[in-house]
Amino acid sequence: MAALIAVTAGFASGVLLRSLFVFGWPIILFIALVGLMLFAARLVASRAAYLLCALFVIAAALGAARFHMADAPLPAPLLADLDTRVVYEGEVVVEPDVRDSHQRITVEVREGEEEARVFIVADRYPAVSYGDHVVARGVLALPEPFATDAGLLGQGRVFRYDHYLKKDGVEFIIEFGELDIIAKHEGFSLYGALYDLKHAFNAALSRALPEPEASLASGLILGGKQGLGEDLKEAFTIAGLIHIVVLSGYNVMIVAIAMMRFFVFLPRRAAATLAGITIGLFVLMAGAGAASMRAGLMAGLGLFARASARTFDALRALLVVGVAMVAWNPFTPVFDPGFQLSFVATAGLILGAPLVAARFAFIRNEFFKEIAASTIAAQIAVLPLLLYQTGLFSLVALPANLLVLPAIPLAMGLSFFAGTISLVFPSLALVAGLPAHAVLSYIIAVAESAAALPLSSLSIPAFPFIFVLIAYATLGYTAFVKRSSMTLQLMFSKKTST
């Protein structure tokens, strides 16, 4: 486990170092050489510390190299078009993000031998779909960071919009763009089929449920908070409940457990395989974002461990998944706030939930004890990073989560039932949606009531990132000491009992 931690920390440190400072292959090779020297020292003097340091440094060199290869220079033909009105032809490569007054589209264009992704903000019509070939017109620009106002985004913070788009491969932007569809997508593609199914299911939910319950149901099942409206979205944010309407590990594990129960009549390995395929398609349908990919991979590893009858070490799985995702997209750990929050929340659940649950021995019901412990552990884990990113300190997040989280599996199940019935039998949509409507209305009522309380949240001024590192070092050390103490107590109790 120590070797895995050294490799994980080293790889992440190399990615972070290269993302903050621009350097090339000579420095990367020098870092690798230092690692090899430490490994040689391990061969001379048999000390575990030398091996761990060598693994850390070599992994750091690999992380820096991976980021350096991904951080390609901007295409020269598009750079020459900056701040001018352009006309580009390309393909829509990401599901459009449709808002109340506009749509946001990512188009891959080719200029000469160069390819680039351009983020376009345009009117809602004409409505485009994944795979469509379009012509985009507008003024080409580079995305830029911007200062946020006080309030939900805190005071004195800067949102790195350029980095946020960079993680998805987007390098240019056209605001107030114009679109024309040249050709609709033809032929079969897995993404296209899944997106079509997603749109059909969302339409079925809209027939079965009124707004905003329909958008909340869609968010719970498939992720996404665009249809909630600004007021309700703000209420969920203040109440600390916004995580339930993005595809999180909690949502995906609910699906994983449901699939295992659905395939219970099959052999264990076959059931886990089918459940894993279902989760993969589910994550792809939801957009394959960093948080949902992490959640899906974690669920997949859990199913594999269950099928193979091996002990599932959740922390080891989280580290493996984290390294795999960073290796796939090295911009994720630094430029994707959702991935960061999702990762630390999962680590908090793994390390902190058992410690918190030990304090709740007075709660007899195991289900509510698990909900309370998981909620508190996750809230503590994300707090330093959340305060750094947004400055929002919700004073009602803990009670709101304790009231809402037990209802989420029921809300997801009833919403899926309502959407399925509406999809197959549209005439029964309203009747099928009644049970889901009741549970979803309860969740919305809790969010709105919690957000409306006096002093429900505080806005924290911006502070240096070093304080975040100190906070997590303290939390990690505390968790390590407490877990070691619990392990020793358990070993002592076993010895005395024998």
- The per-residue pLDDT for range 120-154, each reduced to its tens digit, is 999 988 888 888 999 999 999 999 887 765 444 44
Residue 477's Cβ-count burial label (10 Å; 0-12, 13-18, 19+) is exposed
Residue 494 lies in a domain: no
Per-residue confidence (pLDDT) for residue 210, from 0 to 100: 93
pLDDT above 70 for 419:
yes
Per-residue confidence (pLDDT) for residue 422, from 0 to 100: 94
pLDDT above 60 for 467:
yes
pLDDT above 50 for 118:
yes
Computed on alpha carbons and rounded to an integer, the radius of gyration of the chain in Å comes to 24
Q: Are 217 and 347 part of one and the same domain?
A: yes
Residue 256 lies in a domain: yes
Residue 107 sits in a domain of what CATH number?
2.40.50.140
CA atoms within 13 A on the CB side of 343: 23
Instruction: Give the mean pLDDT of 191-209.
Output: 85
Per-residue confidence (pLDDT) for residue 152, from 0 to 100: 47
Q: Are 376 and 307 part of one and the same domain?
A: yes
Q: Are 412 and 459 part of one and the same domain?
A: yes
Give the model's confidence band at 495: pLDDT under 50 very low, under 70 low, under 90 confident, else very high.
low
Q: Are 157 and 44 part of one and the same domain?
A: no
Give the DSSP H or E segment for 254. helix 249-262
Per-residue confidence (pLDDT) for residue 246, from 0 to 100: 67
Q: Are 344 and 219 part of one and the same domain?
A: yes
Residue 493 lies in a domain: no
Give the model's confidence band at 250: pLDDT under 50 very low, under 70 low, under 90 confident, else very high.
low
Instruction: Give the mean pLDDT of 327-332.
Output: 88
Residue 465 lies in a domain: yes
Residue 492 lies in a domain: no
Give me 234's structure tokens. 């703000």
Per-residue confidence (pLDDT) for residue 312, from 0 to 100: 52
Instruction: Give the mean pLDDT of 400-415.
Output: 88
For residue 139, list its beta bridge partners. 85
Q: Are 214 and 118 part of one and the same domain?
A: no
Considering 153, 187, 221, which residue would you say is the last residue of a domain?
187
Domain region containing 151: 76-187
pLDDT in tens, 296-312: 776 666 565 555 555 45
Spatial contact of 5 and 52, defined as CB atoms under 8 Å apart? no
For residues 345 and 46, which has the higher predicted lDDT (pLDDT)? 345
Out of 11-15, 127-131, 439-443, least confident range:
127-131
Considering 38, 70, 102, which residue would you say is the last residue of a domain?
70
Residue 495 lies in a domain: no
Q: Are 263 and 146 part of one and the same domain?
A: no
In angstroms, the CA 30 to CA 178 distance is: 49
pLDDT above 70 for 207:
yes
In angstroms, the CA 408 to CA 412 distance is: 6
Instruction: Give the mean pLDDT of 202-216.
Output: 92
Spatial contact of 140 and 196, defined as CB atoms under 8 Å apart? no
Per-residue confidence (pLDDT) for residue 224, from 0 to 100: 66
Q: Are 160 and 256 part of one and the same domain?
A: no
Q: Are 270 and 146 part of one and the same domain?
A: no
Residue 35 lies in a domain: yes
Q: How many residues are listed for the chain in this entry?
A: 498
pLDDT above 50 for 169:
yes
pLDDT above 70 for 456:
yes
pLDDT above 70 for 60:
yes
Return the SS3 of 14.
helix
pTM reported for the whole predicted model = 0.79
The tokens 């507008």 sit on which residue? 138
Out of 89-103, 253-267, 421-435, least confident range:
253-267
Q: Are 377 and 238 part of one and the same domain?
A: yes
Per-residue confidence (pLDDT) for residue 489, from 0 to 100: 61
Out of 329-338, 360-369, 439-448, least confident range:
360-369
Give the model's confidence band at 84: pLDDT under 50 very low, under 70 low, under 90 confident, else very high.
very high
Considering 70, 96, 112, which residue would you say is the last residue of a domain?
70
pLDDT in tens, 174-183: 998 999 999 8
The tokens 């006080």 sit on which residue? 150
Residue 348's Cβ-count burial label (10 Å; 0-12, 13-18, 19+) is buried
Per-residue confidence (pLDDT) for residue 450, from 0 to 100: 93
Residue 244's Cβ-count burial label (10 Å; 0-12, 13-18, 19+) is buried
The average confidence (pLDDT) of the chain is: 82
pLDDT in tens, 259-306: 767 777 777 777 777 777 777 777 776 665 555 666 677 666 656 555
Per-residue confidence (pLDDT) for residue 288, from 0 to 100: 57
Give me 353's structure tokens. 């939930």
Give the model's confidence band at 340: pLDDT under 50 very low, under 70 low, under 90 confident, else very high.
confident
pLDDT above 80 for 381:
yes
For residues 349 and 225, which has the higher predicted lDDT (pLDDT)? 349
Q: Are 394 and 479 part of one and the same domain?
A: yes
| Counted domains in the chain | 3
DSSP string, 442-473: HHHHHHHHHHHSTT-EEEPBP--THHHHHHHH
Q: Are 403 and 317 part of one and the same domain?
A: yes
Per-residue confidence (pLDDT) for residue 153, from 0 to 100: 46
